[in-house]
Amino acid sequence: MTIAIYPGTFDPITNGHLDIVARAAKLFAKLVIGIYDSPDKQPLFTVAERVELAREAVANLPNVEVESFSGLTVDFAKKVKAKAMVRGLRMSADFEREFDMAMMNKRLFPELELVCLMANVEYQFLSSTLLKEAANLGGDISDLVPEHVAKALRKRVKGKM
């Protein structure tokens, strides 16, 4: 059974992320979404909230699990016995960053293969950062995230205003 990880902050998970998840779930026997708990970042949602939002979003995909992790991504990959890491690419700047990370990860865990999936055209522009900014300014983000995420996001940004 080939296991893959899809690591990220997912603050919050978007339809662009879910497009990558759905496509990767077809390629691997098991896909583990790794929600990164970074001490350096100040996410809008706690790691527990991000895990719960992601779990609800992928509840219809039986071979997809969601876990939080901290530390090195390669250590998380080893923990879940992953053979591949999935990443989504939106633009050339993503490629440059992913290439650098892939080289470091290969050095740290040579057996881990990187699989990059090109973002769907309708999500090429979408990032969690832009999404949060639009929501904070009152923009309609309802077609960019699952309904439960839009509700949580509107509630959170309303509480910050």
Q: What is the pLDDT of residues 119-143, one digit of tens each?
A: 999 998 888 889 999 999 999 999 9
* N residues, the chain: 161
17 is catalytic: yes
**Residue 151 forms part of a structural domain:** no
pTM for this entry: 0.93
**Residue of 26, 41, 107, 155 marked catalytic:** 41
Q: Tell me, yes or no, whether 12 lies in a domain.
A: yes
What is the signed CA dihedral for 145, 17, 61, 43, rounded to 10 degrees? Answer: -70
pLDDT at 159: 60
Domain contains 156: no
pLDDT, residue 95, reads 82
- Provide the residue range defining the domain that includes 89: 3-125
CATH number of 67's domain: 3.40.50.620
Amino acid identity of residue 135, one-letter, is A
- pLDDT score of 39: 76
Q: Which residue in 17, 50, 87, 132 is the catalytic one?
A: 17
The answer to whether residue 87 sits within a structural domain is yes
Which stretches of the chain score pLDDT less than 50?
161
Round to whole Å and give the CA distance between 97 and 100: 5
Which residue in 30, 78, 79, 90 is the catalytic one?
90
Catalytic status, residue 41: yes
